[in-house]
Each structure stands twice: as C-alpha cells, then as structure tokens.
Amino acid sequence: MHGGAVMSDKIKQKICYFDLADIYQEQNWLEDMARRGLLLTYTGYLIYDFAYGEPTERRYRILPEKRKKIEQEELDIYESCGWTCVRGTHASTVFYTDDQNVPEPFTDAVTEKKYYVKRLLYTFITTIALTFCILMNLDLNTNGFVFNPIEAYYQLADKPSPIIYIYAVMYPILVLFELVFIFRYTRLIWKLKRETFKRTAGFKARRYVNMILINTIIVLIVGLFIYVVFVPDKRVTTSSFNEALAYKDNDLVRFAEFDPSAWDEVRANMTVKNDNNDVDNPDITYETSYDRNIMMTKMSSEDLEVYPRTDKDGVSEPKLMYLVQLYKAKSAKIAARFMPSNIAEELDYKGFDVSEKRIRDMQFKYKGLDYAAYITASKKDEAPFYKQMLFLRKGNKYVVVAYSGPIDLKSKVGLFASKM
C-alpha cells in the first residue's frame, strides 16, 4: 500500500516533457496517468518513474521549487494535511493525495499565486540571462549573428564541421527553445497576477509541442556526436619539408610556378648539415595543408617563409613570404557570401588597416573572374610582414594570396586565374 493505492513493483518510465512554466499542464498529465493506473513514484530531471496500480482519481499539486530547497518543516505540514511528497531530483516538487476531501495545499488563491510568482520569477530571469549569453556568444564568434544571422552562417564556411553545426544549427534552435519558454513564463506570471486566474484544464497540446522541441534538441545532439565520430573532417597539415614537397594539388599555384628562379634557390637551401646529417633548414618554414567540411569540398594552402641568417641578436623580418589559400565551396553562392567576411578577417589578421572604403578601392576588373582585388601595404598599416595581397573568385573557387618579395603580385593574376 502507498498513499491508499495498491501498486506493483513493476516500473514504467516516461519522459516528462513539461517545464516549470507548464506546472498546471503537468498536474493534469499526472492525474491522467493515475486514471490509467500509472502512479508516480519518482521524478528525475527528464525521466519519471511510474508504478503499475489500480486506476485512481489521484490529485497532484506541484511546487516550482526543488525538494531539497523546501524546509523539512514545510514538507511536514503538507504531509500532516494529507499531501504526500514524491521523491525526486526534478526542478519542481510533486505532492499527491488520493483523498478527495483533503483541502488544497494553499488555503487561498492569493497566497498560492504569490508563492508561484516569486519562484517562477527566479527561473524566468535565469532563462533570460542564459538566452542573452547564448546570443552574445553567437554574435562575438560570428561577427553579427543577432542582426544578420544569414551572413553569420556563411562566415562559418571555413570552420570545422562540428563548429558549423553547433553555431548554425544547434545554437539557433536552442535560442528559439529558450524564447518559447520565456514567452510561456511571461504568460503564466501575467496570468497568476490576474484576479480572474483559473488553472489550465488540458495538457495534450502543450505536451506534443514540448515533445517536438525536446526531441529535436536530442536528435541534433546525437547527430553531432555521430558526425564527429564517424564522418570527421579530413584535415592534413604537413610536418616536414619532404611531406610538403610530396603534396600534389593541381588547383594551387605553388611557389615553384609563381617564381621558379627564387624557388630553385629556396629548394637548394632547404636542408643543412647537422652532425653530418641532412636536416630541415631552421631559417625556412615550408608547409602545405588540406581540409574539407560540410560547406567546402576543399581547402588547401601552401605557406613559405624564408628568413635571413640569424645571429645572436635574434631574428629579423623575413626576406621572402608566400602564402596561397584555396577555398573550393560546394556552391558559388557559398563562396560569394563567405568571401567578404574572409577578406576583412585576412586583412585585419595580417596587419592591414581595414576600412570599407579601402576594401572597395582595392577591387579591379579582370576578364573571366567574378571578383578581383589587390592591396599593397601603406604607411598607415601596422608593419605587416606580407606587403601585398590578392583576392580572386570565380564561381565556387576563391583564392587568397599573401606575398612579400620583389615581384608585383598583381602581374601574376593571369597565372592564378588560369587554375580557376
């Protein structure tokens, strides 16, 4: 026997799809379960335990407060009045009675409403703060998500797929999820403050809506886990000169093509003797990389830096630098929408003074290309190592070239265009 109803030891678990803003709908659901012979025995964070028993006209009342935060004296008062507390770790505390003559836990509606409003306001403010933090995180990491979410999505095109998935899919749905509950808290608190407040009668519509929202979040989390484990991005960065030299990429303009004579000199000095062994020259940095994600079928690069011989006083500015980056998007639209934010990011990262006017002024027309822009370092730039930069796009291919050396980078546009 338990609270007047016979129950078996067999337990049935059900997901509780109700939030604190759905207290009255949850009460109705639990009472409906009791009429079906499923009697609540434990409330978890998401899973509730029900014991099989006889169909019962059981009344449930829920306080918007964790059980551990309710004073034992208060619990004893409810117990003495005929209300049994259900064990659990849920954000709310559930009481029940099988005696239809037992009075309500609150002696009057005014006291009940004040109690509920006071505790719901805390959760309401916490939910708003969480939503604000998520939005600010999105805005900071995507440079304008709040005001222009579509453009922010395209800014993520070169990021690892899990990051794209989190920022472009999970976070926006989580924000929507939170906004729905903020609306519900606002509505419930407003209703509780009204003198004409009446408890909600049903529960099915609210339960189905919540079921869709929660299951969507669960599916997305599981989907992310499966993707990360079974479909990883293929990022490869070379760790030695030999690996970089062996890398083949017909879409990239390698430095060997860009400046053959300078390359011959670099190639001849790539190794030095160390205890009669050939080792990579520490005055030269040379590597290639390859990557892909759900928005880019290919992202590859070649990076070469040649430093003058170092002495005891330290290292001076590199005498030759060449960096070419290729982005091959899954569509021309992705490439075109990704490019503006990438240009601004590249210029800023490499020490150029970035302004909308300067970005507009560096554009020029070139037959066969959808976009072409060239910039050289000026006195107002923060001493960038790269003195020249080139940005080119044709269809779904977008190329960024950064260079410091004797050649006029703009004179090589035809070479890069021929591979696009």
Burial grade of 50 (CB within 10 A; 0-12, 13-18, 19 or more): buried
The confidence score (pLDDT) of residue 1 equals 41
Residue labelled with tokens 């933090």 = 133
Q: What is the pLDDT along the chain (420 residues), one digit of tens a residue?
A: 444 565 667 889 999 998 888 888 999 999 999 999 999 999 988 899 999 999 999 999 988 877 777 788 888 888 888 999 998 887 788 999 999 888 888 766 666 677 777 777 777 788 788 778 777 776 666 665 555 667 777 888 888 877 777 777 777 777 777 787 788 778 777 877 775 556 677 889 889 988 988 888 888 778 777 776 676 667 777 777 888 888 888 899 999 999 999 998 888 887 777 777 777 777 888 899 888 888 898 999 999 988 876 554 555 566 789 999 999 999 999 999 999 989 988 888 888 888 888 888 899 999 999 999 999 888 777 767 788 999 999 999 999 999 988 999 999 999 999 998
Cβ 156 vs Cβ 337: under 8 Å: no
Residues 151, 153, 157, 161: what is their CA dihedral angle, to the nearest 10 degrees?
A: 180
| Closest CA relative to residue 120, chosen from 15, 16, 197, 19 | 19
**Burial profile 196-232: b = 16 or more Cβ within 10 angstroms, e = fewer:** eeeeeeebeebbeebeebbeeeeebeeebeeeeeeee
Sign, Cα dihedral of 43, 49, 54, 57:
positive
| Closest CA relative to residue 290, chosen from 334, 262, 328 | 328
Amino acid at 355: S
The confidence score (pLDDT) of residue 410 equals 93
What's phi and psi for 134, nearest 5 deg? -65, -45
> To 5 degrees, how large is the angle CA 375–CA 365–CA 413?
60
Number of Cβ within 10 Å of residue 333's Cβ equals 11
The confidence score (pLDDT) of residue 153 equals 75
The confidence score (pLDDT) of residue 158 equals 85
| pTM listed for this prediction | 0.67
Per-residue pLDDT of 214-248, as tens digits, reads 888 888 778 777 776 676 667 777 777 888 888 88
The confidence score (pLDDT) of residue 141 equals 63
In DSSP notation, 99-150 reads -TTSPPSSSSHHHHHHHHHHHHHHHHHHHHHHHHHHHHHHHHHHTSTTT-HH
Phi-psi region of 82 (alpha: psi -120 to 50; beta: other; left: phi over 0): left
Mean pLDDT for the chain? 82
Write the CB contacts of 325 (distance below 8 Å, at least 6 apart in sequence). Answer: 299, 300, 301, 399, 400, 401
Domain ranges of the chain: 7-97, 109-199, 236-417
Q: Which two tokens stand for residue 149?
A: 């979410």
Number of Cβ within 10 Å of residue 189's Cβ equals 16
| Closest CA relative to residue 286, chosen from 330, 239, 328 | 239
